[in-house]
Amino acid sequence: MNWFSHGESRMSRHEHQQSGTWLSSVGRALPPLGVVLLTLAWVWWSAVPKPAQLVLITIDTTRADRLSLYGFADATMPALERLARDGVVFDQAISVAPLTLPAHTSLFTGLFPPGHGVRDNAGRALDENHTTLAEVLRDRGYCTGAFVSSVVLDPSRGLAQGFEHYAGVLPGARREATPLQRRADEVVADAIRWFDGIGTCPLFLWTHFYDPHRPYEPPEPYRSRYFDPYIGEIMFVDAQIGRLLDALEQRHRLENAIVIVAADHGESLGEHGEEDHGIFVYESVLRVPLIVRLPGSLTTSGATGDSRVADLVRLVDVMPTVLDLLRIPALVTDGVSLTPLLDGSRNALGLEGYAESMYPRQLGWSSLAALRDNRFKFIQAPQPELYDLESDPFERTNIIRDHPAVAQTMSRRLGQAESRDERERTARSDHVDADVRARLAALGYAAGTSVAPLHAARPALDPKDCIAGYEQRRRDNTGLSPKGFCQ
């Protein structure tokens, strides 16, 4: 009260002394008390700690080992390098599936696919009864905006939950006019327009860049500049990420933002006979980039920029980490908070990564599931596989005969993860909108009517025996008859 009175009298005196100045004209327009109250409100608003904002960037179809910050030597990606310098790079971040929708759904729910029930791009959508990261932040007063670039993430597929603004590719009136994806520069322009119009509320911004997905057609000058068009696509996305970060910085949105960059899955690029992704669960499609850059306000004593974490982490850990960083109570998820790795208080959490591929079932083959730790990886298949990733990171030598006990233990643990299939607990519709199904098919995804749960009898056909004929059939464009080309 004393401070209040003092301020009022001081302003009155000041107004008197500065008669005829700008301040006095304001004083005449507003009663002195009003000026004081406005000043106090501003001082209070400035002093109140602002909640950190969240910028989540997902790059589709991007292998960690094709980024310069993961050792790729043929091109330097300045925007990602900048984030890496200011943040923490996870060297062994693992996706849950080689498909866009299941992987993103795990990112947003912290659940493995058996937990959230989204097993395929063309299967069921995420049910409303799940809680997404966007819903949590929206309920905490964040302005939430998503800018996605593929029909696979159409709002009808479940991830629009919690986003006040969700912009994807627009359905066209005629199917042939329906866009299936949009470029990163469009996504960034759209996102900037959005955050320029939301005032001062804390934001949760998600941008999704589909460009590195096949077909690899980077715009100029990236098309001419890079021999490998897949790298050209990544370089274009890097430039657009730089543009987005610059725009956030100019608006003072970056200094208080957690920035997370991840890929949903990688790309086989011919390894193991697979051209792109969706069938196998090898590291080429599961090991993804993950960069977490914290604002100064959240940087704890042990955390420094430009650091790397060698320990295995999963996409399901992103949501628990964000909630932990923002001091929001945890939800029940399959993930854990990675803050002990971020602040350096621990260098290993002993996590196991679960991943699955249900897409082969659309082709009449066995689904695949995998479990890995920091050293071994077990793949459940008609002919199961075990790899020592320390000595064989490209999974070239199946050592299952040499380590039957390891395989047996991992197989049992994998079975426990699979048994969480929520189809046992809920009976939900697998309905997929006919238009979305047609657009998925136009992207090259076979879209059957449903996907059976993993613990149902697995078809005997092993994708390993079928991939060569399958890829040949795709090259020849002679259709995807499922069985004829399996050895």
Q: How many CA atoms lie within 13 A of 161 on its CB side?
A: 18
Q: Which is nearer to Zn ion, 233 or 264 (CB)?
A: 264
Instruction: Report phi then psi at 356, rounded to 5.
Output: -150, 160
Q: How far is the CB of 77 from Zn ion (least distance, A)?
A: 19
Binding site for Zn ion (CB under 5 A): 60, 100, 264
Query: Any idea which residue has 């479990």 for tokens?
Result: 371
Q: How far is the CB of 61 from Zn ion (least distance, A)?
A: 5
Q: Which is nearer to Zn ion, 100 or 268 (CB)?
A: 100
Q: How far is the CB of 72 from Zn ion (least distance, A)?
A: 19
Q: Which is nearer to Zn ion, 101 or 326 (CB)?
A: 101
What are 325-329's contacts with CB under 8 Å, separation 24+? 325/52, 325/258, 325/294, 325/298, 326/51, 326/52, 326/54, 326/137, 326/140, 326/258, 328/136, 328/140
Q: How far is the CB of 60 from Zn ion (least distance, A)?
A: 4
Q: Which is nearer to Zn ion, 100 or 181 (CB)?
A: 100
Q: How far is CA 455 from the centre of its chain?
A: 27
Please identify the residue of the shown chain whose CB is closest to the bound Zn ion: 100
Q: Which is nearer to Zn ion, 60 or 154 (CB)?
A: 60
Q: How far is the CB of 103 from Zn ion (least distance, A)?
A: 6
Q: How far is the CB of 397 from Zn ion (least distance, A)?
A: 28
Q: How far is the CB of 265 from Zn ion (least distance, A)?
A: 5
Q: How far is the CB of 264 from Zn ion (least distance, A)?
A: 4
Q: Which is nearer to Zn ion, 153 or 257 (CB)?
A: 153
Alpha carbon dihedral 341, 345, 346, 352, in 10-degree steps, equals -40
Q: Which is nearer to Zn ion, 214 or 403 (CB)?
A: 214
Q: Which is nearer to Zn ion, 133 or 148 (CB)?
A: 148
Q: How far is the CB of 248 from Zn ion (least distance, A)?
A: 24
Q: CB count, 10 Å around CB of 250?
A: 10
Q: Which is nearer to Zn ion, 60 or 334 (CB)?
A: 60
Q: CB count, 10 Å around CB of 468?
A: 14
Q: How far is the CB of 439 from Zn ion (least distance, A)?
A: 15
Q: Which is nearer to Zn ion, 264 or 283 (CB)?
A: 264
Q: How far is the CB of 443 from Zn ion (least distance, A)?
A: 10
Q: How far is the CB of 181 from Zn ion (least distance, A)?
A: 11
